[in-house]
Amino acid sequence: MDVIQKAILFGGKAIVSVVDAKELCQVAVDKQQTNDVASEVLGRVLAIGAFMSSGIKGTNIRLSISIDGIGKCGKIIVAGETGGIVRGFVQERQPNVAKDSNGKYDIAECVGKEGSITVIKDFGLKNPYVGKTQLVNGSIDSDFAYYFTTSEGLPSAVASGAIIKNGKVKSCGAIIVQPMPNCEEEIIVILQDIVRNFVNFADMIGEKSAEQIIDDNFGHFECKLMPAIQPRFECRCSEERMENIVKSIDRAEIEDILNSIGKIEIHCDFCNKYYTFNREKVNEILKSKK
């Protein structure tokens, strides 16, 4: 079962969060029909997105993460809501990326090394929070560590990973360590050094539970576990929402589409589902608009 396990370290001076996102990654892969390297990229960003959404307090709050690095995956989009609910997609589902001599994909080739991460947190107020930072190297981990440090003022250490073979997710997750403002520099250095050792985090999260990872690596630092959160992949699209989109289309444009192909078809990027409305259904929708 997927989980986000957080723990308070050093009496509240730092927080470590471990995300096991194997199941939600599999849901995304099944829906998106991505190849293995695109699935790895998407899974890792979804895991970090689940962590970010788990920290949002309140209801009807929306999170949006957009990575535009001009890589072979194109844009990478993840949306989230309170409680670790996420959904996402990559623009190019079948990028052609070869493995290196160690059997690993060049993630930076997929993400791109030039571009940015944009995070929008919509709290339902007049102006949403918008944070934007440049990509560091396209590795995902360094890019998000830089985002957290620069945009949110938290000098974070991030490690993520996923193992996917022929569409089957073997493991997927992330670990994020964030010192609080009152944390001493020597503690920050210790925590960053620990996370640097997670070069094979995909193997670790596939072999151990999130709680075990915290206990093995941070249990001796006055560690207190917080209540676990269960993240999940969930798309919010529906027939009703798509009908509202039809209502928003200019009537002349609707007629052009119906005369050309006889139907209006709307695609949801997140769950890869198509909604089709024939002329009769469109007329019915438009009548309800009045």
pLDDT digits (tens, 9 = 90+) for 202-229: 999 999 999 999 999 999 999 999 999 9
Q: Stretch 139-164: mean pLDDT, rounded?
A: 94
Looking at mean pLDDT, say which of 115-129, 187-201, 236-250 comes out highest: 236-250
* pLDDT tens string 48-75: 999 999 988 777 788 999 999 989 999 9
* pLDDT tens string 12-31: 999 999 999 999 999 999 99
Cβ neighbours for 108, distance < 8 A, ≥ 6 positions apart:
71, 137, 138, 139
Res 282 pLDDT > 60: yes
Range scoring the smallest mean pLDDT among 93-102, 107-116, 236-245: 93-102
Bridge-based pairing of strands 76-81 and 85-90 is: antiparallel
pLDDT band at 234 (very low <50, low <70, confident <90, very high): very high
For the chain, give percent helix, strand, coil, nearest 5: 35, 30, 35
Q: Stretch 1-18: mean pLDDT, rounded?
A: 95
* CA dist., res. 146 & res. 155, Å (int): 8
Q: In angstroms, how far is CA 155 from the centroid of its own chain?
A: 20
**142 near 126, Cβ under 8 Å?**
no
Calculate the average pLDDT of the chain.
92
How deeply is 262 buried, as exposed, middle or buried, from its count of CB atoms within 10 A (0-12, 13-18, 19+)?
A: exposed
* pTM more than 0.85: yes
* pLDDT tens string 173-198: 999 999 988 888 888 888 888 888 88
206: its two tokens: 């596939």
* CA dist., res. 32 & res. 38, Å (int): 10
Nearest residue to 112 via CA among 66, 70, 77: 70
Q: Stretch 85-107: mean pLDDT, rounded?
A: 90
Q: Among residues of the chain, what percentage have pLDDT more than 90? A: 74
* CA dist., res. 65 & res. 273, Å (int): 21
Phi, psi of 101, deg, nearest 5: -65, -20
Q: What pLDDT does 290 receive? A: 56
Residue spans of beta strands (DSSP E) within the chain = 3-9, 14-20, 62-68, 76-81, 85-90, 116-122, 129-134, 157-165, 168-179, 224-225, 232-233, 263-268, 273-278
Q: What pLDDT does 122 receive? A: 87
Q: Which amino acid is at 87?
A: R
Please state, in angstroms and as integers, the Cα–Cα distance from residue 138 to each residue in 19, 155, 173, 281, 285, following that order: 21, 19, 18, 45, 45
